[in-house]
Amino acid sequence: MLNRVILIGRLTRDPELRYTPAGVAVTQFTLAVDRPFTSQGGEREADFIPIVTWRQLAETCANYLRKGRLAAVEGRMQVRNYENNEGKRVYVTEVIADNVRFLESAQNRDGGQSSNGNLPEEPSYGGGNSGGSGRGNNNFSRSSNNQDPFSGDGKPIDISDDDLPF
């Protein structure tokens, strides 16, 4: 069985960071994702999908994401239910994210360019193990070198047969 979701959209509001009684960070936000077709009136429609992140990923999202920012979310779909104050059963469908990529920097969103003209300064983060299964995958990666490894002065690249994966 497979439960995997990949979404690209814009945040409808700033993420809400909270902590569980055990001190675990959890962030919730909504992603507006365009549908691939237009309505009969010629207007573009969107789906508004609730996203939940946990632990380090939650804190990172709360620090870097803002309303209107473009983000890619990878995770799994979850449906849960509870009984509200009126005794009615309420069903909630949400995406539990384990990887979030920030697809534009604050400078690009505001109309300016970053000082070096390269990729956004904010990194993309993964991890944020949800569900407390104990795997502890709270690692994130940050590229420390934004230079293109293939930008040379036209010289051939020396690759031995041992370097090839096949």
Task: Please tell me the predicted confidence (pLDDT) of residue 158.
Answer: 65
pLDDT by residue (tens digit) across 120-148? Answer: 444 445 554 444 434 344 444 444 455 55
Mean pLDDT over the full length of the chain: 77
Which residue segments constitute the domains of the chain, with CATH numbers given?
5-130 (2.40.50.140)
Residue 76 CA: distances (Å) to CA of 15, 19, 33, 53, 105: 19, 21, 16, 11, 26
Q: How far apart are CA 126 and CA 134, in angstroms?
A: 16
| Cβ within 8 Å of residue 30, ≥6 positions away | 11, 12, 13, 48, 49, 50, 51
pLDDT by residue (tens digit) across 8-43? Answer: 999 999 999 999 999 999 999 999 999 888 878 888
Task: Please tell me the predicted confidence (pLDDT) of residue 41.
Answer: 83
Range of weakest confidence among 23-37, 84-98, 103-117, 123-137: 123-137
Percent of the chain with pLDDT strictly greater than 90: 54
